[in-house]
């Protein structure tokens, strides 16, 4: 019989129950050793930080059957329930149709999908919940299906698959990859798969129009969306981060955190951004930030300012190195990079040498796993740094492509003005050259996510001149030169008769 986990979270104010009551260090020496190995695996492969630190401040999120992006924030008609209560119902549920045992947890970036799976795994490691099942937590990658096929006792296994959107095997073929995963896991007792909402493929509607169910070919799967934090959850989290035992000191920090959080607008509802509130509170002054790009910039700069005191290197040099590394990783479709590959890149890009001076312990945003591979603590940090590199350092004739995640597109769209300002002179010069060779009045060089055929149609008379300036089409990948030209709209000069 399953324990009422949601009641436990409510009664004991979240996962502090794990820290204070669950037997994390109890058991035989062999059991302790096995548990420690799994803690380290979560640290190295999933969370990239200590999972027990997550447990100290974890707040159970709610979930809902309707995408939060489709409704207003204050829509009280949307039914929300504690996520562990719904997961408990899901594990109890009998499977009558293909796909009923495979649950999708969807949300935007930074809403706590990975943290939820880690907390589930911690409860399993303590033999506290769910009773009678083996629990496996895997980060989806090119070896996942092989690992799943080797699993034993599948009828008594709960399989947690994290970050379909970060799976390199899904790039450019998301639906095919998803079908492969569903085929591979259909005989497992229960499967939970997390993914960003925007990355999830277009799916067939449930013929009965029942909310919370999605059809993917022959699979009819349950689905839930993680709800944004409400004000009560936000302030409960702040109290956990700044407890009252050092009342005078922490009360000031708590008040400062409230000022910062209130300035963040709807961004305060994202657990991932809240998890860095301590860094913002410890920074000089009060930062009032209300857009995603600014808050990520503040977080990264606060981290690198701490590194500046250790390395004696200007934080701006470190910022450029991290941005360059993120761009290189995104161009290679990598979430981590091994030391040998990094050394190869350093030979061609000198500034990356400073990456090795960064302290990767504690609250570092750049981590190493047990194999020595470098990885940013959260994928959205890598995505932000890619955009930072494009805005601040990318060359107009950059001919590489990067994988176009939804978050990268959002940040680029919202910072179009900065892009236009930086590249305005170079773009204008190239535009004038193209237009000077045109012989039609009113022609516009307007390139906005057009395919190769359309570009040729618009400039069919002047292709040699265009090719010289490396104007390239937006196809499957996000091509930097194309993006920075996407909304050029300079009228052609009039031709004297």
Nearest residue to 25 via CA among 161, 144, 165, 125: 125
| Domain count across the chain | 3
* DSSP letter string, 431-480: HHHHHHT--STT-----SS--HHHHHHHTGGGHHHHHHTT-----SSEEH
Considering the domain architecture, whether residues 280 and 295 belong to the same structural domain is answered as yes
Question: Which residues are registered as beta bridge partners of 106?
Answer: 195, 225
Per-residue pLDDT in tens (0 to 9) along the chain, 497 residues: 334 444 444 444 444 445 444 455 555 677 777 888 888 888 888 887 888 888 888 999 999 988 887 755 455 567 889 999 999 999 988 887 899 999 999 998 889 999 999 999 998 887 777 788 899 999 999 999 999 999 999 989 999 999 998 898 988 888 999 999 999 999 999 999 999 988 888 776 655 567 788 888 889 999 999 999 999 999 999 988 888 765 555 578 888 888 888 878 778 888 888 888 887 887 755 555 667 888 888 888 888 888 887 778 888 888 998 998 998 888 888 888 888 888 888 887 767 888 878 876 656 788 877 678 888 888 889 999 999 988 888 776 666 777 778 888 888 888 877 777 766 655 555 555 544 444 333 333 333 333 333 334 433 443 444 444 443 333 333 444 443 433 333 344 444 44
C-alpha of 16 from chain center: 25
CA pair distance 409, 401, nearest whole angstrom:
13
Considering the domain architecture, whether residues 150 and 186 belong to the same structural domain is answered as yes
CA pair distance 417, 394, nearest whole angstrom:
15
Considering the domain architecture, whether residues 20 and 139 belong to the same structural domain is answered as yes
Residue 136 has phi, psi (to 5 degrees) of -120, 130
The CATH code of the domain that includes 152 is 3.40.50
Domain span holding position 73: 5-226
Considering the domain architecture, whether residues 18 and 150 belong to the same structural domain is answered as yes
Provide the CB-side half-sphere exposure for 286 (13 A, CA).
14
Question: Which residues are registered as beta bridge partners of 191?
Answer: 102, 159
> Which pTM value belongs to this model?
0.73
Instruction: Give, to the nearest 10 degrees, the angle between helix 406-414 and helix 379-392.
Output: 40
CA pair distance 336, 373, nearest whole angstrom:
6
| Torsion sign, CA atoms 457, 458, 460, 463 | negative
In order of 303, 316, 390, the CA distances from 324 in angstroms are 17, 12, 9
CA pair distance 332, 343, nearest whole angstrom:
15
Q: Given 226, 256, 277, which residue is the final one in a domain? A: 226
Question: Hey, which bits of 21-156 come out as E strands?
Answer: 62-64, 81-82, 102-107, 134-139
In a domain, residue 397? The reply is no
CA pair distance 379, 375, nearest whole angstrom:
9
Q: Given 372, 392, 412, which residue is the final one in a domain? A: 392
Considering the domain architecture, whether residues 354 and 241 belong to the same structural domain is answered as yes
First vs last C-alpha separation in the chain:
88
| Torsion sign, CA atoms 179, 478, 329, 193 | negative
* DSSP letter string, 356-395: GGS--STT-SEEE-TT--EEESSHHHHHHHHHHHHHHT--
Considering the domain architecture, whether residues 30 and 160 belong to the same structural domain is answered as yes
What was the pLDDT predicted at 475?
35
What was the pLDDT predicted at 246?
55
In a domain, residue 43? The reply is yes
Structure tokens at 189: 């007792």
Considering the domain architecture, whether residues 475 and 378 belong to the same structural domain is answered as no
Considering the domain architecture, whether residues 81 and 220 belong to the same structural domain is answered as yes
Question: Hey, which bits of 115-229 come out as E strands?
Answer: 134-139, 157-162, 190-196, 213-216, 219-226
Considering all CA atoms of the chain, what is the largest pairwise distance in Å, rounded to the nearest integer?
Answer: 94
Residue 270 has phi, psi (to 5 degrees) of -95, 115
Considering the domain architecture, whether residues 307 and 270 belong to the same structural domain is answered as yes
Cβ atoms of 203 and 216 closer than 8 Å: yes
Q: Given 172, 203, 226, which residue is the final one in a domain? A: 226
């Amino acid at each position: 019989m399953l324990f009422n986990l949601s009641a436990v979270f409510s009664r004991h104010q979240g996962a502090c129950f794990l820290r204070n009551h669950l037997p994390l260090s109890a058991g035989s020496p062999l059991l302790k050793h096995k548990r420690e190995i799994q803690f380290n695996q979560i640290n190295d492969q999933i969370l990239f930080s200590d999972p027990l630190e997550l447990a100290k401040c974890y707040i159970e999120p709610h979930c809902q059957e309707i995408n939060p992006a489709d409704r207003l924030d204050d829509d009280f008609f949307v039914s929300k329930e504690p996520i562990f209560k719904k997961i408990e119902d899901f594990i109890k549920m009998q499977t009558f149709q293909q796909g009923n045992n495979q649950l999708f947890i969807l949300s935007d970036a930074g809403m706590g999908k990975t943290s939820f799976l880690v907390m589930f795994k911690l409860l399993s490691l303590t033999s506290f919940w769910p009773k009678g099942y083996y629990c496996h937590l895997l980060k989806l990658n090119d070896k996942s299906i092989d690992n799943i096929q080797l699993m034993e006792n599948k009828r008594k296994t709960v399989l947690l698959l994290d970050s379909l959107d970060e799976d390199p095997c899904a790039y450019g073929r998301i639906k095919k990859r998803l079908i492969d995963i569903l085929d591979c896991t259909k005989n497992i007792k229960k499967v939970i798969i997390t993914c960003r909402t925007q990355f999830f493929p277009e799916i067939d509607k449930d013929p009965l129009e029942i909310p919370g169910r999605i059809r993917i070919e022959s699979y009819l799967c349950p689905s839930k969306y993680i709800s944004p934090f409400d004000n009560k959850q936000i302030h409960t989290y702040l109290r956990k981060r700044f407890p009252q035992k050092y009342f005078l000191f922490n009360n000031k920090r708590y008040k400062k955190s409230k000022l910062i959080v209130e300035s963040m607008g709807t961004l305060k509802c994202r657990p991932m951004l809240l998890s860095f509130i301590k860094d913002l509170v410890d920074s000089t002054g009060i930062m009032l930030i209300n857009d995603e790009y600014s808050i990520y910039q503040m977080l990264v700069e606060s981290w690198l300012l701490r590194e500046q005191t250790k390395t004696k290197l200007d934080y701006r040099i470190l910022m450029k190195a991290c941005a360059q590394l993120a761009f290189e990783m995104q161009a290679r479709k990598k979430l981590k990079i091994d030391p040998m590959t990094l050394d190869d890149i350093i030979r061609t890009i000198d500034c990356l040498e400073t990456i090795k001076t960064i302290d990767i312990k504690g609250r570092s945003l750049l981590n190493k796993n047990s194999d020595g591979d470098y990885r940013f603590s959260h994928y959205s940090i890598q995505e932000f740094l890619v955009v930072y590199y494009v805005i601040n350092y990318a060359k107009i004739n950059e001919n590489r492509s990067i994988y176009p995640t939804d978050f990268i597109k959002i940040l680029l769209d919202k910072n179009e003005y900065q892009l236009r300002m930086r590249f305005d002179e170079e773009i204008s010069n190239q535009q004038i050259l193209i237009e000077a060779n045109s012989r039609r009045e009113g022609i516009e060089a307007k390139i906005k996510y057009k395919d190769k055929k359309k570009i040729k149609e618009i400039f069919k008379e002047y292709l040699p001149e265009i090719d010289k300036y490396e104007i390239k089409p937006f196809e499957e990948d996000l091509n930097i030169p194309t993006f920075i030209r996407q909304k050029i709209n300079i009228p052609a000069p009039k031709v004297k008769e």
